[in-house]
Structures are given as structure tokens and as C-alpha cells.
Amino acid sequence: MKVFIVGLNHKVADVDVREKLAFSGEKLDKGLLLFHELPEVQEAIILSTCNRVELYANVTDAEKASDSVKTFLSQFHDINRSSLERSLYIYDDVTAVKHIFRVASSLDSMVVGEPQILGQLKDAYELALSKKTTGILLNKLMKKAISVAKRVRTETRIAENAVSISFAAVELAKKIFTDLSRKVCMLLGAGEMAELAARHLINNGIRDVLVANRTYDRACGLAKEFNGRPVKFDEFINEMVRTDIVICSTGAPTYVLTKSQMQKVMKERKQKQVFLIDISVPRNIDPEINDLENVYLYNIDDLQGVVDANMSERQQEAAKAESIIAEEIDTFLKWQASLDSVPTIRALRDRAEEMKREEVEKLLHKLPSVGEKEREAIEYMATALMNKLMHPPTAALREGGDDKASLVAIIRRLYGINGEEKE
């Protein structure tokens, strides 16, 4: 009984390979059941996201299992087996546990610390639960992986800072303004990144959106999309007086906003703080505007700088996360070892022995007048009774069989033997 993984991620396989191996939609349900039906596989979970496809299993013989899983994958996805083998990684036992904990904690992600992966893992597990393809080992492993991920989240700052340009813009806006819902944002020009930034700002409370574009129709279209108001491009400067955040991304070859214009705007808005985001290349807002008081101008490089700094902080936090994971692997392995029958038999006998002693002592305490002979008889009877009662479970444990792990777990539960820390 050990944890076993076959999989591939963004590091080892390009998107065209990942695509082919992805279990999407109905394929996932079907694939999970077929995977579970493999004779080498006792428990099964499939995690399939855009960055990774991973098959988790409980197997007895890792070598046999890896062979049959590869065959299953190549047949299911109709891929040549040798090309498949090139991009797969296979882990078992400790390395597999470690890998799953790292995936759940988002240490293995493309953007370290990104939060989606935990949700995706939970979904994968829930599907497996509903299809009844998991058992004692993977259930415990998944619960543990989720709790490890939560621990990493709370004990390190791994997911704290923005690591994309549009999120960095939101983070900054929140540190300039008190309440985004009362701020006005203007989108100057259009572009994928500008629109994304605007969308993030709207998700974070901005309600009032203005859209200015060289082509007025485009402005109208975007304004509709953002539930905002279109503005004629040559009139945008008039709107600046009541605009707090400007996202600028026009294709203009020169500055569309100069320092003297901005100075005038600031005077009219009584120096209220303004956040200007210039993601156009070449730049559309005179960089000297940043020297004006209460104006904060960030261009694309500045935002990238923020992102890079946050990234390197995440790397440092990742080191802390690794040590948390190392700790948790230990507790998991201890639990797994306790599932073995030998220590369970021993623990069971110890438990029974303890109960017997307690009861005998209690009885003898109540009967202080009994002699040596009677005392021996009482103890003999107690021991015999204990042995008789303990015989069937012990024998069943010794015998083992396919369902040994669940037998061990059940016996431990029935007799109240704790082989693991409480959670």
C-alpha cells in the first residue's frame, strides 16, 4: 500500500502535450472510472488543470502500476506510448506524498503561491469521492494535503503580494485610496492588459468607469461592457478633474498627457490624489508627471518591477513552506506506518492487557480479604477471557488480504487505538 503518482506539468511538457492528455468534461468521469478499474490500482484520483495532469493512486507494486497506467494513458488519449513516456514523471511513496503536498500548497505552480490549485485539487477529490474511487489512504492524503496547504497559506506570506501586472495595479490603488467604490476610473485607449486591469479594479469595488477612445464606437462598446460611460477622446482631459484612476494604453506615438496639463488638472481637483497607470509602449503619459505632488504615475516597467519584487519575496517564503511540508510528510508517514498490521496487533494486545489489569485491580481492591490462591484464579480467568476475546481480531489482522488497510483502520477505531495525532 503506497501512494503513487503518474503525471506531467508545465515544467516537463508543452501545452500541446498537456492538451492531449487533459481529462476535460466527460472524459474526466470516464477516465477516472477506467483508471480505478486497473488491477494494480486500489484507489484513484485524477487532477486535470491547464497546467498539469496528474493521476494519484494507491498501489502495491509501483513498477507494475506505472506500466499499466502508461498503457492506460496512451490508449485512453490515443497517443504514441514512447512520446508519452518522455514527458511523464512518476513518483511513489515519500516522493509522491511530497509532490502532492507541494502541488496543494502551490509550490509547484507556474506562478508560485497562486491560489486556484487548491480549489482544483479539492474538486478532483470531490469527484473521486462521489465516484467512490478513493479509500483510506488517498482520503487521508487529500485531507492532509488540504490542511498542509492551509497551513502554508497562514504561516508564510507566499500568497500575499500581487504577482501580475493588473493585480499590482489593484494593490497600489488600494494603498492610495481608502474606498475604491467611491472612486472614478478612466480607461484611456484600449488593449488586453488595460482591460484586464480595469476588470480587476471593478472586481475590487470601482463602480464608476469612463471610457475614452480614438474611435468613439469602440469607446461605446467598451463602456457598455464595463457598465460605464463613453467619453470623446479630445474631451478626456476635462473628465480628468473627477477621475481618480487612469489606465492609459493608446497607440499614440507621443504623450497624450503632458505635465502642464496635469498641473492644471491637479489645481482644479484641489490636489486630490490621482493614480495614473501607463501601460502603453511608447509611453503616453509624460513620466515627469510623477514629480507632481499627490500624483502617482506607474508605467509598465514600474509595475513589472513591483511584480518582480513580489515574486522574489514569494521565492523566499517558498523556502519556509518547504520546511512545513517536510514536517507534515513525517506525520503522514507515521500514520501510514501505523496502518501496518504488526504494530496494530501489538497496540491491540497492549490495550487489552491494560484493561484487564485495571479491572482486576479494581476488583481486588473491593475484596481485601481474598487469599493468594483466589487472587491467582481471578487473574487466570481475566487473562483467559481477554485472550479469547482478542483472538479473532488478531487472527484477522495476521491473515491480511486485500482489504488489510481498511481492516487495520476499522480495528483501530473499534478499539480506540490512536496511531496518529488528532486533527
Partner 1 sequence: MDVLLFELALTFYFAATIVSITDLFKESKITTRIITSLAGVGFLIHTLNIIYRYGIAGHIPIINPHEATSFFAWCVVFIFFMLQVRYKVNLLTSFVMPIVFLLMLSSSMLPREIKPLSPVLQSYWLGIHTVLAFLGNAAFALAFGIGLMYLVQEHHVKSKRLGGLFGRLPSLQTLDEINYKLITIGFPLLTLAIITGALWAESAWGSYWNWDPREVWSLITWFIYAIILHARLVAGWRGRRAAFLSMIGFITILIAFFGIKLLKKGLHVFL
Q: Is 185 considered catalytic here?
A: no
Residue 306 within binding range of partner 1, rule CB under 8 A: yes
The grid coordinates of residue 110 equal 507556474
Amino acid at 292: L
Residue 247 within binding range of partner 1, rule CB under 8 A: no
Name the residue nearer to partner 1 (CB basis): 98 or 153: 153
Residue 254, Cβ neighbours under 10 Å: how many? 9
In 3D space, the residue among 189, 199, 273 whose CA is nearest the CA of residue 230 turns out to be 189
Q: How far apart are CA 328 and CA 94, in angstroms?
A: 11
Question: Which entry of 50, 185, 220, 248 is annotated as an active-site residue?
Answer: 50
CA atoms within 13 A on the CB side of 55: 30
Stretch that binds partner 1, among 23-31, 97-105, 194-202, 307-315 (CB under 8 A): 307-315
Shortest distance in whole angstroms from residue 172 CB to partner 1: 7
Place of cell 514569494: 314
Q: How far apart are CA 360 and CA 363, in angstroms?
A: 5
Stretch that binds partner 1, among 304-312, 349-357, 377-385, 406-414 (CB under 8 A): 304-312
**Positions 160 through 219 that interact with partner 1 (CB under 8 A):** 160-161, 171-172, 174-178
Residue 294 within binding range of partner 1, rule CB under 8 A: yes
Return the ∠ at Cα 28 (arms to 25 and 33), rounded to 5°. Answer: 145
**Helical ranges in 156-299 per DSSP H:** 165-176, 192-203, 216-225, 236-239, 259-268
Shortest distance in whole angstroms from residue 276 CB to partner 1: 12
At residue 179, what are phi and psi to the nearest 5 degrees?
A: -130, 105
Interaction mask 259-278, partner 1, x per CB under 8 A: --------x-xxxxx-----
Shortest distance in whole angstroms from residue 129 CB to partner 1: 34
**Positions 308 through 337 that interact with partner 1 (CB under 8 A):** 309-310, 313
Q: How far apart are CA 274 and CA 240, in angstroms?
A: 9
User: Which of 282, 287, 305, 400 forms a contact with partner 1 (CB under 8 A)?
Assistant: 305
Residue 73, helix vs strand vs coil: helix
Shortest distance in whole angstroms from residue 251 CB to partner 1: 25
Binding site for partner 1 (CB under 8 A): 160-161, 171-172, 174-178, 267, 269-273, 290, 293-294, 296, 298, 302, 305-306, 309-310, 313
Catalytic residue ranges: 50
